[in-house]
Structure 1
């Protein structure tokens, strides 16, 4: 490298560092108040730092109790665990003519595999927990080589354990922050690891007044502070129009030229330029640009999850569930501490007696409230006595109850939502109160759905770039079963013609790089819950309509959670002459299967006949009972008629 080249790189690095410091200062200043309040919320709710420091120190010096009965984590877990039971799912849909519904299903399975293999549920739950507690959380999307090695990259969804390390774009207006043009992620790195990764680079902290606060800068320490500087920049893209009408970037076309030419696709004309964006990730120290990475997508892969978003004076303000409940929690702590203190001090009321009554055994009288003595002598005719116990402090206990009710009212989560007994007695009333709590906190779950929708948008944008060459990927179905699918290459499958019943070869291509796809995100119960619910509903269907048992029996067994359910379902399908997809097998069933089907039909017919006979017998019994009732009524009528005639006839008249 020549001296001029080094000077050019140094000047370029200095310009980038200056730009990064200016952008970071704006991002830091825009979120300063939110970050300070969020840190206080986090320490208040999670670490239990709920007493003002001056009051706590004064009470400790006086030897007085300073209790913290933290009720906030239960409310936070109620909201977060509700989201865990109804986790949002990403579903892709084809948009244009180049998109394919079958390829959309492969995309859905690939995204489910990305979420499963990278523990995306941990990333989602961590971000939501921070959003509920202090107003915002973050997760990120990354591309990394698989652990087994190889050149192909895989997309992963990673959690951000500390959202305070992320600084977003202060000019963002989108609800999901999909319009971020700049972002920062601060991190610490061991100096030995720094020297091994960037030999010869100077280990200088990225300096900023916000980062150099308490515990920030460590002079001569073992760690160095770095910054990921993400920036989205406007560029000119070179696009190639193929013979089938779809457009593709020139770089992607060159990478996939053999596959495209084999499929009969070629450029329909010279490349054209169009405005576009590119995302660049730079890792900065305080002295140089250590790495520059051209990110393949058009979105910054940092996804924030917000709590409550409010715009005041043109600035986004973020709040969590804890912010308005802090005063009520402090009141609860104070009144419970006061009642505890009053009750605890009641047995320690001082002894009262005349002057000189305590001269004898003075040492024992001094320790009478803290030690046990067999006897204590006194001077004078009358023994000293205590003031009587005034009773449990009802006022303090009532104020504590009021503070507890204030907590529930502020957060909208009442006893029914927390699983405790309340005034509701009927199941409908309890469900209505639970639904009221769910509605009052639903915006947190909805904001998580927005964040996951943006994450799906990022994945759909990245998949054609990362999975651009022919390869075999694993996809995961809705039932949790996985299979391997070749993508971006022609595959030959055999299918049976329904009319001729002959096997024929069909060429399929799951091309992840062509077509446009949109997505939807819907929150619903987990797959295990869905399977249990499906089995329960099918059982109810069979009870109401027994004839449906032969039709849905294999599906019912498949959804039951017991060992061997899959094998039993497969045997039932074979007995019914069906394949794995539930369709009739080609060529008909074997003789044994036909005999089993005939026996099943005969049993079903016999069952219907027995049901008809039973209904007829029931009808006959009812007619017989009705006839006996009529006969009894006629007999009673005749008896009453005879009595009436005897009463009306004159005495001595013979009626025989």
Structure 2
């Protein structure tokens, strides 16, 4: 495999610093002016600019990753430093780890798992968007979620966020099983993603760039980028490897004392985590594993691009870069014919407009191996930050570290004091014990039933130790309470009844505790909104050919759904490539208690006559916890039809088709308590006979009785 044509090999051992090359120069001048050829001079400036950006982003990541790693270590039980453990071992003191942070994290994770966030698309004022197409896109997105096992990906990213403060999705096309590409979403390691250190917005569309680094061996590099690239970078890891330079992770950063303002933690222009080219290379090479860091950079560029502009609405759509003038003319002629057939004026024009596009640049060591326009309109990275303020990100563990340290230290101190009390010393008169008895006391002085032979009238006595300080135990209890108070979680939320109270009171206290988690859930909802927008972008831009999906519809039934099906008349059925849609995120709790409460509410509405029972019997079954719901509904519908009535779904279909419906075709609900409204009467056949053929018995409803 040959190397890409657009790669640049700089002088690896040049002493030129990045600042001298980039200052006063525009590496993208040729692109902005419409010349898409990339000469070597441009590639050299690009390489130096990418190095400088990467080192600034890497220094900013180091600022965050130090605290994030400590938080993750505390959740995973690594709560003592190596120096503390060594000191305790040297002094023969215990060092217990009572991990009380992990249950709090698991509780928050469980609350997230019990709440499902689904994307739902709605039509807008755009003429091309319809409610039917919005429903089609919603079904496709749900199918994408099933294929990607998205609930597990959500949990992984949510855990990354609440532990370390940052989690990342990566949404892009996957060509592993389909040459047209399938939308795939995965969770990224937050310690490999380096956002723009000057950005201060949650939405990645407001960032300037984002880096992702991953370690590859020479075989992977050769397969992906060609043998020539592999040969050029192999001297970095083969033989003596690269020598020289200072790793960027030990560079000091400077800045004023001010609140955190960006992902880099500094004001714009204050950040100085920039080193030499050699420092960048030395931090990108692992000579022991023979690996080299491959750095992907997605960055925005402002360019002039041809667009189709609608003079009536002001909407504009960029024209694909590969379209030539002849293709554009054919497209405009076809559009003019469509407007002429409707007798409407032709409002479309081809104009040059400034647009923001994503550029994808890949570097290996000091070689730019790829530099092209990204196939996506926005970054493939979508972030999740449980706490976010102007680029400052943190999880829920940061504030729990000090109370957890206090719990460990106080409990270890108690064990140490009790051990010393149980093994207190002895006193005896001089020359009252021989050497054998002294050794016996020294080795077995704390054992029960110890027999000692002594001389004189005064027997050996154990030294009475001091009492256990009561303040140590109170300090541990206070630290335990501090953990729960800081996390905003009470014993009821943990399933521990801290007082004698009713079930309603316990439920109220649990809901009160959940209020403290709303900030995390609100930001997760914001992230799912960004994910929904990214999926819509990928569907409209890359699902351009006819495709067939298996969609799970109402009642759990699977049906086929086709998109972009062109008819003989030229009409495209379920054209998902057109239209603009609004995005909503539905939050649905999944707990059995919630489902039971919904079933109870529905039963109450039926009892009060607000909802007619025959119209919602299938819904009531779905809200129950019974198994084989589909079989129950099928038998129930068959029973209704055997009585000469129509089901609720059939009634809706007849209304949609304009077929008149007679009241005798609809099953009439019966009074829950019998006809009179007084005492409830048992329903049964009249005396001397059975139920008449025209009597419609009340059907059983699968509704659980209370939560």
- TM range, smaller chain: 0.7 to 0.9
Q: Please tell me whether residue 168 in structure 1 is matched to residue 220 in structure 2.
A: no
1:366 matched to 2:396? The reply is: no
Determine the structure 2 residue equivalent to 1:649.
none
Residue 263 (structure 2) pairs with residue 184 (structure 1): no
Query: Which position in structure 2 is the counterpart of 1:333?
Result: 408
Q: Determine the structure 1 residue equivalent to 2:95.
A: 66
Is the contact between residue 307 and residue 320 of structure 1 (CA under 8 Å) also seen in structure 2? yes
Q: 1:247 to 1:485 in 2, by over 3 A?
A: farther
Residue aligning to 1:18? 48
The correspondence of residues 375-390 of structure 1 with structure 2, limited to 5 A, is: 375-388=451-464
1:42 corresponds to which residue?
72
- SS of equivalent to 1:332: helix
Q: Cα distance, 1:387 vs. partner?
A: 3.3
Which ranges in structure 1 are unaligned for 5 or more consecutive residues? 493-504, 588-593, 619-656
What is the deviation of 1:530?
A: 6.7
CA RMSD of aligned residues (A): 4.1
Q: 2: distance between equivalents of 1:527 and 1:429?
A: 19
Decide whether the 8 Å contact of 1:475 with 1:484 is kept in 2.
Answer: yes
2:300 maps to 1:232: yes
Q: Cα 1:32–1:609, aligned 2, differ >3 Å: closer, same or farther?
A: closer
Question: 1:79, CA displacement in angstroms?
Answer: 1.8
Cα offset, 1:320, TM superposition: 1.9
The answer to whether the 8 Å contact 1:176/1:450 transfers is: no
- Residue of structure 1 equivalent to 2:290: 222
Paired residues of 1:133 and 1:321 also in contact (CA < 8 A): yes
Residues 374, 305 of structure 1: alpha-carbon distance in 2 compared, 3 angstrom cutoff: same
Deviates further, 113-122 or 284-293: 284-293
Per-residue CA distance 1:156-201 (angstroms, 9 max, x = gap): 21111x2011011123232333312200011112332222333221
Q: Name the counterpart of 1:628.
A: none
How does 1:462-611 map onto structure 2 within 5 Å?
A: 462-477=538-553, 481-490=557-566, 509-526=573-590, 533-542=597-606, 548-574=612-638, 575-576=640-641, 577-578=645-646, 581-583=649-651, 611=675
Q: Are the equivalent residues in 2 in contact too, given 1:570–1:580 (CA < 8 A)? A: no
Hey, what's the Cα distance between the residues in 2 that align with 1:472 and 1:286? 43
* Structure 2 CA distance for partners of 1:215 and 1:65, relative to 1, 3 Å: farther
How far apart in 1 are the matches of 2:406 and 2:567?
69
Q: Measure how far apart 1:220 and its partner are.
A: 5.1
- Map 1:141-156 → 2, pairs under 5 A: 141-145=171-175, 147=177, 149=178, 151-156=179-184
Q: Which has the higher helix share?
A: 1
- Give 1:422 deviation, angstroms: 1.9
User: Any idea what SS the aligned residue of 1:367 has?
Assistant: helix
Give distance in 2, aligned partners of 1:371 and 1:412. Answer: 47
Contact 1:232 1:279 in 2 (8 A): yes
- Residue in structure 2 matched with residue 348 of structure 1 by the alignment: 423
Q: Distance in 1 between matches of 2:483 and 2:507?
A: 21
Which range moved further: 264-273 or 31-40? 264-273
| Pairing 1:430–2:498 present | no
Deviations, residues 93-130 of structure 1 (Å, cap 9, x unaligned): 11212211111111111111222211222332222222
* Residues 1:89 and 2:128 are matched in the alignment: no
Write out per-residue CA displacement over residues 489-543 of structure 1, whole angstroms, 9 at most, x where no aligned residue. 2469xxxxxxxxxxxx9x8722211111121223331398776554444344445
Q: Which residue of 1 aligns with 2:33?
A: none
**1:87 alignment partner, SS class:** strand
User: Is the 2:128–2:579 contact (alpha carbons within 8 Å) kept by the matching residues of 1?
Assistant: yes
1:269-303: CA deviation from partner (whole Å, max 9, x where unpaired): 66322221221222210132233453333221211
Q: Which residue of 2 aligns with 1:324?
A: 399
Segment drifting more, 537-546 vs 13-22: 537-546
- Comparing 48-57 with 227-236, greater Cα deviation is found at 48-57
Alignment partner, residue 30 of structure 2: none
Classify the secondary structure of the residue corresponding to 1:425.
coil
Deviations 1:203-232 (A, max 9, x none): 458996139899974225332211111111
Instruction: Provide closer, same or farther for how the CA distance between residues 305 and 610 of structure 1 changes in structure 2, counting only shifts above 3 A.
Output: closer
Offset at residue 76 of structure 1 (A): 1.5
For residues 609 and 352 of structure 1, what CA distance do their matches in structure 2 show? 88
1:29 Cα deviation after fit: 3.5
Whether the 8 Å contact between 2:7 and 2:369 is mirrored in structure 1 is no
Q: Secondary structure at the match of 2:119?
A: strand
The match for 1:307 is 386
CA contact (8 A) 2:673 2:681 kept: no
Inter-partner Cα distance in structure 2 for 1:457 and 1:228? 23
- Choose which of 210, 214, 217 in structure 1 pairs with 2:249: 210
Q: TM-score, normalised by structure 1?
A: 0.78
Counterpart for residue 515 of structure 2: 439
Greater CA drift, 409-418 or 528-537: 528-537
Residue equivalent to 1:101: 131
SS in 2 for 1:557: helix
The corresponding residue for 1:134 is 164
- Whether the 8 Å CA contact 1:579–1:585 is kept in 2: the answer is no
Counterpart in the other structure of 1:654: none
Q: Which moved more, 1:191-200 or 1:607-616?
A: 607-616
Offset, 1:399:
1.0
* C-alpha separation in 2, matches of 1:616 and 1:372: 76
Equivalent residue pairs, number? 586
Structure 1 residues 615 and 448: CA distance shift in structure 2, 3 A: closer
The correspondence for 1:272, drawn from 342, 351, 366, is 351
CA contact (8 A) 2:72 2:163 kept: yes
- 8 A contact 1:558–1:569 mirrored in 2: no
Partner of 1:623: none
CA shift at 1:458, angstroms?
1.8
Structure 1 pair 479/121, CA: closer, same or farther in 2 (3 Å)? farther
